[in-house]
Amino acid sequence: MVQKFVSVFAEFGVLVVVASVFADQIGLPLPAMPVLILAGAIAATSTLSAVDLFLSAVAACLIANTAWYLAGRWYGSSVMKLLCRISINPDSCVSETQSYFERWGSGSLVVAKFIPGLSILAPPLAGATGMLWFRFALFSALGAAIWVGTGIGAGIWLRPQIDDLLPLLQRVGSTAAVLLVALLMAYVAYKWYRRRQFFAALRMARISAAQLFQLIQAGAEPLIVDVRSATAHALDPRTVPGALRITVSDATKHLEQLPRDRDIVLYCTCPNEASAAQVARLLMTHGFKRVRPLHGGLDAWIAAGYAAELRPAPNPAELVPEVEAGEPR
């Protein structure tokens, strides 16, 4: 049984690896690393070529990543919003994930496959932010080579342990296949549970675009805060007039600068106002009472027909100006 499995994998292993890697990189919840490790172990003891495996897997990565790069190039921020809605990883729905891209630029493509969230977001972000195709292809290929090489190399290194494991799988027979499917389903279920838990933790009262407009018209002088990352702002430079900029990662640095006797309204462009709600919860834990995310974010404000202003793409390191409590804006 084991020998038959090895011989079948030696014959079709390249196709299995290509399909697995492509599915992983296109965004399906099917981790390819275990397949790469198994393929590396079998390649070490059969006619299956480790070089063919490596080149085919890297090519599958590049095909999937190029598809996302072109989607980002053509459709911009709408692609990231779609990914946030369908992703089972809640980290990809908040702006911290984009901070890697902002800090490392092209280098983020090299490490993206090892970082949850960034793996699927980096290629469309590269396209949406106008990274040159040659530069994207170079760094993406380097990242794919390191990731694939790590998996296949681990399989070759762990070959003795995997050789001991295969007879065990033979003895349990079909139970092993059922167990593997069950583990995969449990992994997906756990990710969905974490996603639901993440958004449940951010449930709080929102303010609508109409309510915010009424506050402004009534002279209540709410403090409006744009919590989008520099990358998100570059993709859509429109802002609510007069809004301050405080990114999620920098929110704790500016707590003393924010007024406690005024309404604070925070907005972003991510589904479920995840980033805005995250900052709002942080402020509430530090004693701020009049804090609410803007329901629907910037998109809802613009869709309602209210004024927006264009600002140049911000420097991620820009400082937030101080706003004294009660100071008119």
The DSSP 8-state label assigned to residue 305 in this structure reads T
- Average the pLDDT over 239-265 and give the result: 90
Q: Which helix (H) or strand (E) holds 3?
A: helix 2-26
Indicate whether 159 pLDDT > 90: no
Nearest to 55 by CA among 39, 67, 71: 39
Half-sphere exposure of 25 (CA within 13 A, CB side): 31
Distances (CA, A) of 169 to 11, 35, 93, 114, 175: 20, 15, 38, 28, 8
Q: Which two tokens stand for residue 264?
A: 């604070």
Residue 270: which residues within 8 A CB-CB, separation 6 or more? 81, 84, 93, 94, 95, 232, 297
Q: What are 296's two structure tokens?
A: 């629907």
Picking from 155, 131, 147, the residue whose alpha carbon sits closest to that of residue 43 is 155
Q: How confident is the model at residue 319 (pLDDT cuts 50, 70, 90)?
A: very low
CA-CA distance, 239 to 25, in Å (whole number)? 33
pLDDT tier at 195 (50, 70, 90 boundaries)? low
Closest CA to 66 of 101, 25, 113, 24: 25
Would you say residue 258 has pLDDT above 60? yes
What was the pLDDT predicted at 317?
41
Tokens of 196: 């639901």
pLDDT of 171 > 70? The answer is: no
Higher-scoring residue by pLDDT: 212, 232: 212
pLDDT at 320: 40
Q: Would the pLDDT of 173 be above 50? A: yes
How many Å apart are CA 289 and CA 205, to the nearest integer? 12
Q: How far apart are CA 233 and CA 314, in angstroms?
A: 7
Superfamily of domain 209-310: Rhodanese-like domain (3.40.250.10)
Nearest-10 Cα torsion for 268, 271, 272, 275: -40
pLDDT exceeds cutoff 60 at 1: no
pLDDT of residue 125: 85
Q: Can you give the residue ranges of every domain in the chain?
A: 2-201, 209-310
- pLDDT above 90 coverage of the chain, percent: 31
The pLDDT > 70 percentage for the chain reads: 74
Measured CA to CA in angstroms, residue 198 lies from 119, 208, 226, 284, 285 at distances of: 20, 22, 21, 17, 17
Calpha distance 54→152 (Å, rounded): 7
pLDDT score at 10:
60
Give mean pLDDT, residues 135-143. 94
What strands, in cross-sheet order, belong to the sheet with 244-245?
A: 244-245, 223-226, 264-267, 291-293
Contact 135, 106 (CB under 8 A): yes
Long-range contacts of 43-47 (CB under 8 A, 24+ apart): 43/13, 43/152, 43/155, 43/156, 44/155, 44/156, 44/159, 45/6, 45/159, 45/163, 46/6, 46/7, 46/9, 46/10, 47/10
